[in-house]
Amino acid sequence: DRRRDSPAAGSPIQPIIKDVGEVYSRLLDHRPVIQGEIRYFVKEFEEKRGLRELRVLENLKNTIFETNERVLPKCEQAMRDNLSETFKRLQAANAVIHRLQEREYETRKLQADKVMAREEKCIAHWEEFMKEQQNKRAEVDEEHRKAMERLKEQYSEMEKELAKYVSF
């Protein structure tokens, strides 16, 4: 249809256009070559590889199915059983630790009470000691005052006697 409508139809330029089209298709149009290479590659791939990928995918599918249907439920059940047992053990250990902490708390409280009682006893003993010391100090001060008065009296008497002898 194009040849009939083209303005160069029947003219001497037509063989040149035909040659240019042929050169273009041989040098620049790579579609036929690429399509041939693609067909060759697909043919070689299918012949050499065969159905190996299909078999590998089928084996993979079977492995996944078996894992989902058999292995996974067994693992889940084993996990539930072991987690239940582990949880019970943890609760028992937690209870034992709690009891030990309570005992240690009670022991420390008892020791703290004993220390506090000793401190109170020591404080009471110290206060008693200090009162006793103050009483003794007061006694010593009183004795000292009395001794000073006696000495003063004695010295004043001695002075009086001396004064008697000085008048000679």
> Distance between CA 33 and CA 26 in Å, rounded?
10
Checking if the pLDDT of 106 tops 70, the result is yes
Q: What is the pLDDT of residue 3?
A: 45
List pLDDT tens digits, range 35-82.
Answer: 888 888 888 777 766 667 777 788 888 998 988 898 888 888 888 888
Both tokens of 127, joined, read 């206060």
Asked whether 44 and 50 are in contact (CB, 8 A), the reply is no
Q: How many residues does this entry show for the chain? A: 168
Q: What is the pLDDT of residue 9?
A: 53
* Cβ neighbourhood burial of 57 (10 Å; 0-12, 13-18, 19+): exposed
Q: What is the mean pLDDT of residues 144-153?
A: 94
Q: What is the pLDDT of residue 50?
A: 64
Q: What is the pLDDT of residue 1?
A: 45
Q: What is the pLDDT of residue 96?
A: 95
| Better-predicted residue by pLDDT, 127 or 78 | 127
Q: Which DSSP state fits 116? A: H
* Residue 167 pLDDT grade (very low, low, confident, very high; cuts 50, 70, 90): low
Q: What is the pLDDT of residue 2?
A: 45
> Distance between CA 100 and CA 92 in Å, rounded?
12
Checking if the pLDDT of 13 tops 80, the result is yes
Asked whether 40 and 48 are in contact (CB, 8 A), the reply is no
Asked whether 127 and 133 are in contact (CB, 8 A), the reply is no
Asked whether 45 and 39 are in contact (CB, 8 A), the reply is no
Phi, psi at residue 95, to the nearest 5°?
-65, -45
List pLDDT tens digits, range 18-28.
Answer: 888 887 777 77
Asked whether 3 and 9 are in contact (CB, 8 A), the reply is yes
- 29-33, 80-84, 129-133, 141-145: which range is least confident on average? 29-33
Tokens 């078996």 appear where?
66
E-strand stretches of 20-138: none
Q: What is the pLDDT of residue 149?
A: 95
